[in-house]
């Protein structure tokens, strides 16, 4: 799941909290054979009223996961801005696969055009953002399935996050001397020490 959470953060508007929420609410994304099934699970598909040969579509059904819908609509609002990769998004994309970055960049252009086309047709800003959130689920499905497939392949390592400034990894010292506890030795017995390297050699 960690690989999926890291990969989903390549999308604009999807930071760590949103990515964790999506994974926690949906689970394994590859269990959905098609992204439309994931959209139906979230309740973000249009309702339908059919009679004979007449088909009329209404608002979204809202019959799915309400918490998932909320975080997706919040993320969708970021696509009303012009496509760009800011500092925070660039930092989240460090170490991710180029395919994932390419999908996230295509999502920015597609969702930005989609939002303003709907607004130009007379849709409200809320309706336009909801439509973008539904399409965002399709990209979440594609990136999640890609990450799940790569994480199960042998020899694939998770992206390594750079160490914080001022903190460096210290090598393990094998020459440290650890005195035995005084409560673990008989009375009047001399204090004896054991080193980590000695313990490893005995194992």
pLDDT tens digit sequence for 77-127: 999 999 999 999 999 999 999 999 999 999 999 999 999 999 999 999 999
- How much is the pLDDT for 164? 45
- How much is the pLDDT for 129? 93
For 11-45, how does the pLDDT look when each residue is reduced to its tens digit (9 = 90+)? 999 999 999 999 999 999 999 999 999 988 888 87
Q: pLDDT confidence of 168, banded at 50, 70, 90? A: very low
- Domain segments of the chain as ranges: 2-152, 172-203
What gap in Å lies between CA 13 and CA 83, rounded to an integer? 12
3-state secondary structure of 173: coil
Tokens of 187: 């009375």
What's the pTM? 0.70
What gap in Å lies between CA 178 and CA 185, rounded to an integer? 14
Q: pLDDT confidence of 65, banded at 50, 70, 90? A: confident
Tell me which DSSP letter residue 98 carries.
Answer: H
């Amino acid at each position: 799941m960690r690989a999926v959470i890291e990969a989903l953060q390549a999308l604009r508007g999807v930071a760590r909290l949103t990515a964790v929420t999506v994974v926690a609410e949906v689970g394994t994304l590859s269990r959905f054979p098609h992204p439309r099934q994931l959209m139906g699970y979230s309740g973000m598909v249009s309702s339908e009223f059919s009679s004979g040969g007449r088909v009329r579509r209404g608002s979204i059904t809202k019959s799915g996961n309400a918490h998932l819908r909320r975080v997706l609509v919040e993320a969708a609002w970021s696509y009303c801005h012009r496509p760009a990769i800011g500092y925070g998004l660039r930092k989240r994309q460090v170490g991710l696969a180029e395919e994932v970055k390419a999908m996230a960049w295509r999502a920015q252009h597609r969702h930005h055009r989609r939002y303003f086309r709907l607004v130009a047709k007379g849709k409200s800003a809320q309706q336009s953002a909801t439509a973008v959130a539904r399409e965002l689920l399709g990209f979440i499905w594609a990136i999640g399935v890609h990450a799940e497939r790569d994480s199960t392949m042998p020899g694939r390592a998770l992206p390594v996050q750079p160490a914080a400034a001022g903190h460096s990894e210290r090598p393990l010292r094998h020459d440290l001397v650890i005195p035995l506890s005084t409560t673990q030795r008989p009375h009047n017995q001399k204090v004896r020490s054991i080193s980590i390297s000695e313990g490893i050699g005995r194992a």
